[in-house]
Amino acid sequence: MANLIHLVRHAEVLNPDHVVYGRLPHYGLSELGRHQAVDAARYLAGQPVVAVWSSPLERALETAGIIAARHNLPVRVDQDLTEWKLADGWEGIVWEDLPESRPGELEAYLAQPWDLPFAAESLEELGSRIVTTMKAINDRHPEGDIVVVSHQDPVQVARLIFAGTPVNELHIDKPLHGTVYTFQPGSNWTEAARYDPENQVEFPPRTV
């Protein structure tokens, strides 16, 4: 069992056309995103990180690579850390055009994300996928800290499940770009800390 697991949402993406990119290739970090990833890496630099795992998508891999470089580690990829498959039918559509292109779907996602018949993967399935993957990664590393880089909704639903919070709170206090959540694994996983590079805010603050 690892000492701590740091679950990270990837940093900001270069997306000038405001496209729903979902699991599309070739969506890497913006300049701001690279700065956010560097901030997250700096925050984690003093931790005894022994492994960095990532979603296979470019934005996550870039974020993970910047963090891993601080520890002279490779980035390990797990396909099950990828984005929620909800967006498969939205990919390539401009966000502002989504209500017309896919009537009612964005509204349903915002109102009741736990009940989306049109989604290729339910929120419950997403939660099971992410939590199972994180526990499997934890089992592979008996010592040291682990960094896991994924996406906003996968990170958020994992937090809810570990906290025993209903998934209908998916849209409350969601992770910002580059946010780091630190978990203490065990019979019950506890969220011990959070760092938001966007706001330079740490909870709870470290004592010197």
The domain locations on the chain are 5-201
Is pTM, for the whole model, over 0.85? yes
* Residue 207 pLDDT exceeds 60: no
Helix extents (H) in the chain: 31-44, 58-69, 98-101, 105-111, 123-140, 152-163
**CATH 3.40.50.1240 given to domain 5-201:** yes
In the chain, the percentage of residues whose pLDDT exceeds 70 is: 96
**139-185, pLDDT tens digit by residue?**
999 999 999 999 999 999 999 999 999 999 999 999 999 999 999 99
75: part of which helix (H) or strand (E)?
strand 75-77
Spatial separation of the C-alpha atoms in residues 100 and 104, rounded to whole Å: 9
Spatial separation of the C-alpha atoms in residues 198 and 157, rounded to whole Å: 21
Spatial separation of the C-alpha atoms in residues 51 and 65, rounded to whole Å: 11
First to last CA, the chain: 27
* Residue 20 pLDDT exceeds 70: yes
Contact 180, 70 (CB under 8 A): no
